[in-house]
Amino acid sequence: MALFVLLVEDNFDLAASIVKYLELKGVVCDHAASGEAGLNLAKENDYDVILLDIMLPRLSGLDLCETLRNTGQDTPVLMLTARDTLDDKQAGFASGTDDYLVKPFDMPELMMRINALARRRSGQARVLKALDITMHLDSKEAFRGARRLTLTPTGWNLLEILVRACPAVVSRSKIIQAIWGDDVPETNVLKVQIYKLRHQLNDRYAPPVLYTVSGHGYVLKDGNDGPP
């Protein structure tokens, strides 16, 4: 299946060269010439990678990237820019970019980085969403719908693991390793934490979303569809 990429670049000659090269490599590439247009396309479409210039009209690349991350957008971002100082790079990563490529660059290197980024989702998003669950990573607040959840630190970590994986099932061993590492807890500790989290999530006013998959692990799933 072809990769779907968004290029936000106001230099039309460079943009045309990039789009042509990527299309020869089988990549479907949308182009936006301003930050505002790029933001609209990023919200409307599901891209594998976003290529983002920094100096853009209407909305800078840094502001565009930060806006995406603050709304939970986890598409990998590769910034393409002539600004090559350490401070520039720090600003790029602080805004939520995943990689940084300084102009001028070789097209094969660009393609190599796109392929690498497309194999994962970004870890830079500051808001995580799954079903009707929202987690604000900076403020450490979690909600189901409009209702705030009361979570212990372990409960928070458990929910984050499940939200990031949703709709996939997460094995017991993976959860234990992620939360406790080599300090393996007592046999029933995970069950107790799952019980507490389920109590928070599955209140009487909403359908269940946290399910146990016998012999496999746990999953967040739309309760209207019933258990897996």
Indicate the domain borders of the chain.
4-118, 127-225
What pLDDT sits at residue 228?
A: 46
Sign of the C-alpha dihedral, residues 158, 159, 161, 165?
positive
pLDDT digits (tens, 9 = 90+) for 58-109: 899 999 998 988 887 788 999 998 877 788 788 888 888 888 999 999 999 9
Using the 8-state DSSP alphabet, how is residue 85 labeled? S
Q: Which CATH architecture has domain 127-225?
A: Orthogonal Bundle (1.10)
Bond into 167 cis (ω within 30): yes
Is 127-225 in the same CATH topology as 4-118? Answer: no
Segments of the chain with pLDDT less than 50? 226-228
What pLDDT sits at residue 82?
A: 84
> Which residues, listed in sequence order, are joined to residue 147 by a DSSP beta bridge?
144
Residue whose structure tokens are 């929910």:
159
Bond into 104 cis (ω within 30): yes
Please, what's the largest Cα pairwise distance for the chain? Answer: 62
The SS3 assignment for 64 reads helix
- Cα–Cα distance measured from residue 143 to residue 133, given in angstroms and rounded to the nearest whole number: 6
Candidate CATH numbers 3.40.50.2300, 2.40.110.10, 3.40.190.10, 3.40.50.720; the one for domain 4-118? 3.40.50.2300
Which tokens is 71 given?
Answer: 């709304």
What pLDDT sits at residue 123?
A: 55
What pLDDT sits at residue 223?
A: 63
The SS3 assignment for 19 reads helix
